[in-house]
Amino acid sequence: MARFVLAVAIAIALVFPLVFSGAFYERVAALTLLYAIAASAWNLIGGYAGQVSVGHVVFFGCGAYGAAVAYSEWGLPPIAGLPLGVGAAVLLAALVGVPTLRLSGHYFTMATVALAELIRILVGNVPVLGAAVGLMGPAVPRSVWDLSFTSSLPYYYLFLAVLAGLLLFTWWMERSRMGFYLRAIKGSERAARSLGIPVGRYKLYALMLSAGFTAVAGALYLVMVGFVDPDSGVGILLSVKMLIMAALGGAGTLFGPLIGALILVPLEEISNSLLGGQGSGVTFVVYGGIILLIAVFQPGGILAMVAGWWRKS
Amino acid sequence: MSPILLQVIVGGLLLGAVYALFSSGLTLIWGMMNVVNFAHGDFVMLAMYVAFWTWAIIGGGPLLFTPLAAFALAVLGVVVYFGVVKPVMGGPMLAQMLGTFGLALFLRYSAFWAFTANFRTLPEDMIPGSFVVGGVRFEAAKVVAGIVALLLTIGLHLLLTKTRLGSRMLAVSEDRQAAMLMGIRPDRMQAIAWALAAGATGVAGALIATFFYVSPTVGETLAVIAFVVVSLGGFGSVPGALVAGLLIGVIESLSAFWIGAVYKDVLVYALFLVVLWVRPQGLFGKL
Amino acid sequence: MRKFAMAVTTALVMAGAGQVLAQGTVKIGAIYPLSGNAASAGQSSKAAIEMAVDIVNQDLLDLGDLAMAKGAGLTNMKGAKVEVVFADNQGTPAAGQSQALRLITEEKVAAIVGAYQSGITLTASAVAERYGIPFLTPESVATNLTERGFKWFFRATPITSDLAAAYIDFLKERRAAGKKIDSIAIVNENTEYGSSIAESLRKAFGANGFNVTMEIPYSANTSDVQPQVLQLKDKNPDLVIFVTYTSDAILYAKAMRSLNYRPTMMLADNAGFNDPAFVEQVGNLVEGVINRSAFAPGNPGTIPHRINEMFKAKTGRDLDDPSARAMMGMLVMCDAINRAGGTEPAKIQAALKATDLKVNQILTGYRGVKFDEKGQNILAFTLITQMHDGKYVPVWPAGQASAPVKDYVGWR
Amino acid sequence: MLIEARGVTMRFGGFTAVDAVDLDVAEGRITGLIGPNGAGKSTFFNCLAGDYRPSAGSIRFAGREIAGLTPESHARLGMARTYQVPHTFTDMSVGDNVMVGAFLRHRRTADARRAADAVLERTGLAGQARHRASSLGTAGRKRLEIARALATEPKVLLLDEALAGLTATEIQAAITLVRDIHRSGITIVIVEHIMEVILSLADRVTVFHHGRIISQGTPGEVTGDPKVVEAYLGRSLERQRQRAAEASG
C-alpha cells in the first residue's frame, strides 16, 4: 500500500507540471521543491538528531554566496560555485559544531541564532560578498551552463532530481546505523552514550551533512533567483521557515519536510497573489493563522495525523 | 572619566534596564514551562499600541495606560495559554515553536491590518524631559522604565521565592504530576504564570512606548535582544535577566561608541557565545 | 524546448494583450513592499500610484500640462482605462520575482512599475526582460540596475551620483555664503540604501574638496542610537548627514533632543526623515534640517500643491518624495502606452525610448524625462528642501525655492 | 578479577559521597551493592559505569584502567548499564530500541537486526517488537532497558535498581531474567535497596554506609554482620523518631 502511494506520488511529481501548466504555477512548484530540499536538509540534524538549529540559513548562505562569487569573481557559471559553497558550509559546520553541539536544548538553539545573526552582520560588511548591496548572477545568460531559463520547468526537474537524491540518502541513512544513532541521541543522550554511541561525533556528522545539503539548496536558489543579499541569503526568517516546514509536516520523518513545503510554499505564494495586492497584511494573518491552527490541533505534524488515520482504517 | 564616556555608560545602563524590563516576562514563561514564546516581541508591540491608542483616543497618560496595558496583556496571556500553549505543550518542542511562530505572525499582521504600517509616536512630554546630574543627562522616561524594571524584577523574584503562590508555581514547573498529587491545579498555576508574564510584558511595552516608536514590526526589533538577554541570564532566572540586560546595554553602548555601531551586535553575540562556551547554562541558570 | 516555451508564452501574452484592448482597459502591474519593514513606504506608494491612475482615467483640467491629466483614459486608445494590479514583494527578492512572473503570465499586464528596494527591482526586472515586458522603476537607485544591458528596463528616478551632485552644488553655495563646512560626518544605516548613498557621498565629497571626517555606519532597525549621537556631540562636525529609514530617524530625532545635541548644519537624505509619519510626529524636533526631495507641495495655486491636496484628501497624509516619484513613474509609463497606441510590448518599449517629457509636464522636480540607451532618465534631478515650521519647503535651486535657507534650530 | 576498584572517591563540592572504596568483582558472579538511601552505592555505581568521573582512585576492568573514560568507551569495552528511571527512546519501536544497542557490535543493519531479534526473543519482548516503546509500562520499560544493554554484548551488566517499582510477580519475572542472563556467562553487578531480593539473587554482597563499605561477603555473612544490622536498624529507628516528632509537631 505504502509503495503504491509512493509510486503514484512520484508519477504525479513527474507529470504534474506538464498537465497543470502556467508559468507562475510552475515557478511555485519549483520553489516548493527548493524549500523542500532546504527543509529536508535541516531535518537531518533538527529532525532526526533533535538538535533544533535556527541558524541554518548561514549554510544556505554559503551555497548562495558560493555560487554568486563564482560568477562575480571568476566569471564562471554560478553552479560552478556549488562545490565551494558546500565545502564552506561543511567546514563552517565543523567549526561551529564543536563548541555549540555541547549545549543542550534551547541553549543550542539560541547559540545558532546568535551565530547566524553575527554572520549576517559580518557578511554585510565584506566587499567580496557584495556587502549590503548583495551579489547578482549573470543578468543575461551567456551559455546554457548559466542555467538561466525563462521557464521554471528546467528548475522544477533539476530540484526534483536533487530532492529525490537527498530523500534517497535520508531513506538509506534512516535504516543505517547512523539513523538509529541519531534517533537515540534525540531520545536521550545519556542512554545513547551508555550504549556506546559517540554522541558528540554523530551530532557533528549530522550537522555537517545537513549543512552540506542546505548549501546545495542555497546554490540552487541563486541559480534560479539570480541575486543574494544579506537579508535574503543569511536572514533569520529563512532558518525559521526551514524549521516550520519540517515541523509542520513532521520532523524526523522522511517525507515530513516535503509535506510541510507542499503546504506552506503554495499557501504563501498563492495567498500573497490573492491577498497581497491589498496591502493590508491579511496574507500573513491567514498564513500565521493556519500555522497556528495546525500546531494546536496536530502538534506532531501532518504526517502524524495521516499516520493516525492510516492506523484507524 | 570624561563626562561623555560617563554619559555613554549611563545611557547603556538605562538601555539595559529597558532590555531587562521587556525580557522578564519571556524568562518567566521559558523557565516555568520550557516554552519558547516566539510571539514575545509581538506582545510588547500590542502593549505599545494599547498605550498609544489610550493616549490618542482618550488622552490618557502613563498612569492610565500602563495598568491598562498590563491588564489587557494579562488577559491575552491567559487566552494564549488556554488557546495555544496548553494544546501544544504535550507535543514536541518543535510544535511549541510552530504554534508561537504562527501566533507571532497572526498578532503582528492583525495589528498591521487594524492599525496600518504607519509609524506612530507618543508626544515627547508624556514623561517629560531630562535632568542633569554631575554633567550626565538622564532621560526621565528611561529612568522611570529603569526603576520599574528593578521593581518588577524584585517583585517577580520575591513572588517566586517567598510566596505560597510562587512555590506552587515552581512545584508545577518541576513536576506536574507530583504537584497534582499535592492538590495543586497545574492549569490554574500555569495560567497565572502566563497572566503574570504577559502582564509584566504589558507594563514593559507601555513604558517603552513613551520613548520609542510604535509600529506593527517593532516587536521584531526588540525580540532578538530579549532572547539573547534571557539565555545569557539563564532561562527562567528573573535576576539573571536583569544582570544580563544591564550587561548587554552597557556593552552595546560602549562598543557602539568606541568600535562602531555596526559592530555592536557582533560584539554582543560573540560575548553571548563565549559565555555559553564557558557556562553552558547561562550566567544564572541551573543545569 | 526553451524556444518552444518562449514561443508559447509570447503567444499567450499576445493573446492576453488583444483581450485587454477589447475590454477597453490596459493592465499595468505594480510591485511594492506591502508587508514587512518597508510596508509603510510601500502603502504610501500604492496610494500614489492609485492616484496616478485616477489622473489618467479622469479628465482633470486643473492640473495644467501634467502628463496624462487632460482627457479621460488613454486618449490615443479610444479612451481606454488604465487598471493597476498591485503585488506585494514581501521584502524578499524571490517573492518580487514570483509576483513579476504572475503579473506577466497570469494577469497579462502590459507593463510593470516597481519594486522599491533595489535588490527586488533587480530580480523582478530580470523576469520582465525575459518575457519582453517593459519594466520601469520610479525609485530604485542602485547603480548596477542600468548596467545590465537590459532592453526593457527604464528608470525615471535620479540615481545616487545625481543626488550627490545636487548636494555638492548646494553646499558649495552655502560655503560661498560664508558657512564653515570643514568637517562632515555621515551617519548611515548599513543596508543597501544607506551604504550605497554613503559611498556615493564619500566619493563626491572627496572629489570636490569637502572633508568627510567621520563615518558612522550602524545596523538598521536598531534599538538605540544614543552612542552615535554622543560620538557626534563629542566631535561636533560642521555638517552631519543622516541616511536612515523611518524607525531609526525617529530615534535619532528623540535622542538628539534628550542628549541636547544641535549640529551646526544637519542634512538628512530623504527616506526616514521624509516619511510623513516622521514629519508629522517628530518634525518639530528637527526644525531646519535640510533634505532632498523630488517633490515639494509649493504654494497654493500651484499644480504640486493641488496634487498634494488631492493626495491628502485620499490618504490623510502629505505626498512624500518616494511616493511622488512612484506617481510620476506611473504617469511616464501611461504616457508611453498612450503614445504607443496599443499594448504590444515592442511598441511600448519604443514609446518609452522616445519619451520626452518637459519640465511643465511632470510633478516632480526633475528637469524632464528622457531615457538614454541604458534606460536611465538623463533629466532626473532633485530639489533641496528644508524643514520650516514642521513642513518641508524647497530652498534650492533658486528657481524652484519658495523660502531662503536658514540655520538649524532643532527643537524649541 | 574482572573489576578492581581501588580507593575510589567521589566528591560533590564539599560533600564526599564515596570515600576511598575498594571493591573486587569476580568474573561470572552476581555482585550486589546494597545500603540505605544516600549510602553512596548509586554514586559508586555511576563511577563504575563511567557516568561519573571519580575524584580519586583507580578502576580496572579486565586489567585496563577505565576511571575517567567516557560512558561510550565503557560500553565499547564491554560494560553495559541500565538506569533506575528507564531512558527509553519513546519515539522508536521496542525492536529499534534494542537495535541501537546491537549496532555497537554489528555495523550492518541486517546483522544488527538479527542480533536484536535474538535478544528480544531471549528477554521475552519479541511479541512487542513492533510496538512503539512509549506503549510499554514500567516493567516493560525496565525489561527493554536490560534488553538494550544486553544487545551491546557486554562482559558485565550493571543493573541500577532494575526491580524497584515492580509488583511481586514482575519482580519474580525479572529475577528469572537476570538469572538467565547470568547463566549465559555475563557478570552482573546490581544495585538495590530492597535487601530481600538481592540476598536471594547475589553470590556476593557489598554493603555501603555513609560512603564507605561496611561489610562484604556472601549474603549469609553479611546479614549476620552486626554493623549491617545497625546501619539498617539505626536507620529505621531514626525514621520512627522522625515520624513521632512530625506527629507531635
Q: Do chains C and D touch (3 or more CB pairs under 8 A)?
A: no
Secondary structure string (H, E, C) spanning chain A? CHHHHHHHHHHHHHHHHHHCCCHHHHHHHHHHHHHHHHHHHHHHHHHHCCCCCCCCHHHHHHHHHHHHHHHHHHCCCHHHHHHHHHHHHHHHHHHHHHHHCCCCHHHHHHHHHHHHHHHHHHHCCCHHHCCCCCEECCCCCCCHHHCCCCCCHHHHHHHHHHHHHHHHHHHHHHHCHHHHHHHHHHHCHHHHHHCCCCHHHHHHHHHHHHHHHHHHHHHHHHHHHCEECHHHHHCHHHHHHHHHHHHHHCCCCCCHHHHHHHHHHHHHHHHHHHHHHHCCCHHHHHHHHHHHHHHHHCCCCHHHHHHHHHHHC
Bridging pattern class, strands A227-228 and A135-136 = antiparallel
Q: Which CATH number fits domain C2-158+300-381: 3.40.50.2300, 3.20.110.10, 1.10.357.140, 3.40.50.300?
A: 3.40.50.2300
Which residue in the set A31, A133, A151 is minimally distant from C5, CB to CB?
A151
What residues in A contact B91, CB-CB < 8 Å? Answer: 299-300
Q: How confident is the model at residue C3 (pLDDT cuts 50, 70, 90)?
A: very low
Contacts of A272 in chain C (CB under 8 A): 87-88, 90, 95, 98-99
Nearest Cα to C381, choosing from C325, C327, C330? C325
D51 touches chain A (CB under 8 A): yes
For range A202-208, the mean pLDDT: 97
Q: Is residue D109 part of a domain?
A: no
User: Residue B217's closest chain A neighbor by CA?
Assistant: A281
Query: Is residue A123 situated within a structural domain?
Result: yes
Residues from chain A contacting residue D51 (CB–CB below 8 Å): 190, 194
Inter-chain residue contact B83 with A296, CB threshold 8 Å: yes
A197 within some domain: yes
At C27, list the grid cell: 493592465
- Which residues in chain C are contacts of B218 at CB distance < 8 A? 247
Number of domains in chain A: 1
Residue-number span of the structural domain to which D28 is assigned: 3-86+159-248
Cβ distance of B84 and A294 shorter than 8 Å: no
Q: Is A126 on the interface with B (CB under 8 A)?
A: no
How far B277 CA sits from the closest chain A CA (Å)? Answer: 7
Asked if A304 reaches chain B (Cβ–Cβ under 8 Å), the answer is: no
Share of chain B above pLDDT 70, in %: 99
Per-residue pLDDT, C8: 45
Which carries the bigger pLDDT value, residue B138 or residue A34? A34
Q: Could B8 and C277 be called an inter-chain contact, meaning their C-beta atoms sit closer than 8 Å? A: no
Residue D81: how many other CB atoms lie within 10 Å: 26
Task: Say whether B265 and A117 touch across the interface (CB within 8 A).
Answer: yes
CATH number assigned to the domain covering C161-293+384-400:
3.40.50.2300
Task: Give the model's confidence band at C7: pLDDT under 50 very low, under 70 low, under 90 confident, else very high.
Answer: very low
> Quick check: helix, strand or coil at residue B84?
helix
Measured between beta carbons, the chain D residues lying within 8 angstroms of A187 are 87-92
Q: Do B116 and C219 touch (CB under 8 A)?
A: no
Are the beta carbons of A125 and B95 separated by less than 8 Å? no
Q: Is A199 on the interface with D (CB under 8 A)?
A: yes
* pLDDT > 80? residue B1: no
Distance, in Å, from the CA atom of B22 to the CA atom of B229, rounded to the nearest integer, reads 10
* CB atoms inside a 10 Å sphere around CB A29: 26
Q: With contacts defined as CB-CB under 8 Å, which chain A residues touch D101?
A: 195-196
- Domain for residue A227, yes or no? yes
In chain D, how many domains are there? 1
Inter-chain residue contact B221 with C285, CB threshold 8 Å: no
Residue of D nearest to A186 (CA): D89
pLDDT at C1: 41
The verdict on residue A14 lying in a domain is no
Q: Which residues of C touch B257 (CB under 8 A)?
A: 227, 230-231
Measured CB to CB, residues of chain B less than 8 Å from chain C are 4, 7-8, 11-12, 15, 19, 109, 112, 116-121, 124, 130, 137, 139, 211-213, 215-218, 220-222, 225, 252-254, 256-257, 260-262, 264-265
Residue B234, by phi and psi: left (phi above 0), alpha (psi -120 to 50) or beta? left
Kindly state the average pLDDT of the residues C40-60: 92
Neighbour subunits, A (≥3 Cβ pairs < 8 A):
B, C, D
What is residue C85's predicted lDDT score, i.e. its pLDDT?
96
> Taking chain D (249 residues) in consecutive chunks of 10 residues, what is each chunk's mean pLDDT?
91 87 91 86 90 92 91 94 92 94 95 95 93 91 94 94 86 91 93 80 90 89 83 64 61
Chain A closest-CA separation from residue C190 CA (Å): 6
Nearest residue on chain B to C248, alpha-carbon basis: B213
Distance CA B35, CA B42 (A): 16
Whether D100 sits inside 8 A of A195 (CB atoms) is yes
**Neighbors of chain B with 3 or more C-beta pairs under 8 Å:** A, C
CB contact under 8 A, B98 and A244: yes
Which among A226, A230, A273 has the least Cβ separation from residue C123? A226
Is the predicted pLDDT of residue C17 greater than 60, yes or no? Answer: no
| Partner chains of C (3+ C-beta pairs under 8 Å) | A, B
Domain that holds residue A55: 24-235
Interface A:C, Cβ pairs < 8 A: 125
With cut-offs at 50, 70 and 90, classify the pLDDT of residue C16.
very low
Among the partner-chain residues C35, C85, C92, the one whose CB lies closest to the CB of A232 is C92
Q: Looking at the domain assignment, is residue A150 inside a domain?
A: yes
pLDDT at residue number C377: 94
What residues of A are in contact with residue B225 (Cβ under 8 Å)? none
Letter string b/e over residues D210-249, b meaning 16 or more CB atoms within 10 A of that residue's CB: ebebbbbeebeebbebeebeebbeebeeeeeeeeeeeeee
A57: pLDDT strictly greater than 90: yes
Q: State the pLDDT at residue D236.
A: 60
From the list A28, A31, A281, the residue facing C35 with the nearest CB is A281
Q: Give the minimum alpha-carbon distance from C32 to chain B in angstroms, rounded to a whole number.
A: 14
- Cα–Cα dist C207/A296, whole Å: 62
The single-letter DSSP state of residue B119 is -
Q: Supply the pLDDT for residue A89.
A: 97
* Interchain contact, B119 vs C227, CB within 8 Å: no
Distance between A48 CA and the closest CA of chain D, angstroms: 10
Q: Please report whether residue A132 resides in a domain.
A: yes
* Nearest-angstrom CA–CA distance, B131 and B138: 5
Q: Which residue from B minimizes the CA distance to C252? A: B212
Ordered by start, the domain boundaries in chain C are: 2-158+300-381, 161-293+384-400
pLDDT in tens, C287-306: 999 999 988 887 788 888 89
Mean per-residue pLDDT of chain A: 91
From B118, B211, B260, residue closest to C40, measured CB to CB: B118
Residue A190 in contact with partner chain B when CB distance is under 8 A: no
CATH code where residue D171 lies: 3.40.50.300
pLDDT of residue B137: 87
pLDDT at C14 over 50: no
Site from C88, C224, C315, C323 to mutate, B interface, most B CB atoms within 10 angstroms:
C224
Q: What is chain C's mean pLDDT, rounded? A: 89
- Residues A114, B269: C-beta atoms closer than 8 Å: yes
Q: Please state, in angstroms and rounded to a whole number, the distance separating the CA atoms of residues C340 and B275.
A: 66
How far B195 CA lies from chain C's nearest CA (Å)?
A: 26
Instruction: Using a CB–CB cutoff of 8 Å, tell me whether C21 touches chain B.
Output: no
Report yes or no: D99 at the A interface, CB cutoff 8 Å.
Answer: yes
pLDDT of residue B127: 81
pLDDT value at position C9?
46
Is 60 exceeded by the pLDDT of residue B201? yes
pLDDT of residue C185: 96
Average pLDDT over chain B, rounded to an integer:
89
The pLDDT value given to residue D248: 57
D81 touches chain A (CB under 8 A): yes
Give the gap in angstroms from C-alpha A280 to the nearest C-alpha of chain B: 5
Contact B110 A285 (CB under 8 A): yes
> How many CB atoms lie under 10 A from the CB of residue C227?
26
Per-residue confidence (pLDDT) for residue C165, from 0 to 100:
92
Q: What are phi and psi of D59, to 5 degrees?
A: -125, 120
> Contacts of residue B95 in chain A, CB cutoff 8 Å?
247, 295, 299-301
**Cβ–Cβ below 8 Å for C277 and B130:** no
Query: D126: which DSSP letter?
Result: G
